[in-house]
Amino acid sequence: MSYVLSRLNLLGLPNQYGVQSLEREIVTPKLVLMLASLFGASAVAAGAFGAHGLRGTVSDRALEIFETATRYQLTHALLLLAIALLMLVLPDPPSSLPIGAVAITVGMVLFCGSLYGLSLGAARWFGAVAPLGGAALIVGWLCVAIAAWKLT
């Protein structure tokens, strides 16, 4: 993916700012760890809100959808935590790790966000966003698998 992005040069950056450089300078372990923590904390808060604030105010189906969103968000916050730790401890982390972190972040926002919206009464078309988020989550997991494959 890095090769494709560098060939397309979508950001129009000078050559000294290649994709590899952007991955290492923008998607840092610190940023990924902060995102993991924020997504984890907000998943716990959303779960508490769903269990105590939504019960009895929305349908059982809506509550089930909300719980699915919190479960996926918390699971993928833990994956982001693992990615951040791998980026910190590996001497030369594979470039698929920061790409995976971006994919997981986008996936959580799209997938979980659309489920939260649906459960809270958003228009039904909002649900069409969930498969895009799910695909991004799958890409994130595959990026971690690629990183594992590259380990010596």
Tens-place pLDDT, residues 84-120: 999 999 999 999 999 999 999 999 999 999 999 999 9
Whole-model pTM over 0.85: no
Residue 20: inside a domain, yes or no? no
Cβ-based neighbours of 29, under 8 Å, separated by 6 or more: 84, 85, 87, 88
What's the whole-number mean pLDDT along residues 37-66?
A: 94
Residue 9: inside a domain, yes or no? no
Residue type, 102: V
Residue 70: inside a domain, yes or no? yes
List the structure tokens of 7.
């060939």
**Nearest to 23, CA basis, from 79, 76, 100:** 100
Residue 99: inside a domain, yes or no? yes
Angle of helix 96-107 versus helix 130-150 axis, rounded to 10? 160
Domain extent at residue 130: 26-150
Query: How far is residue 139's CA from residue 49's CA, in Å, rounded to a whole number?
Result: 30
Number of domains composing the chain: 1
Would you say 111 and 137 are in contact if contact means Cβ atoms under 8 Å apart? yes
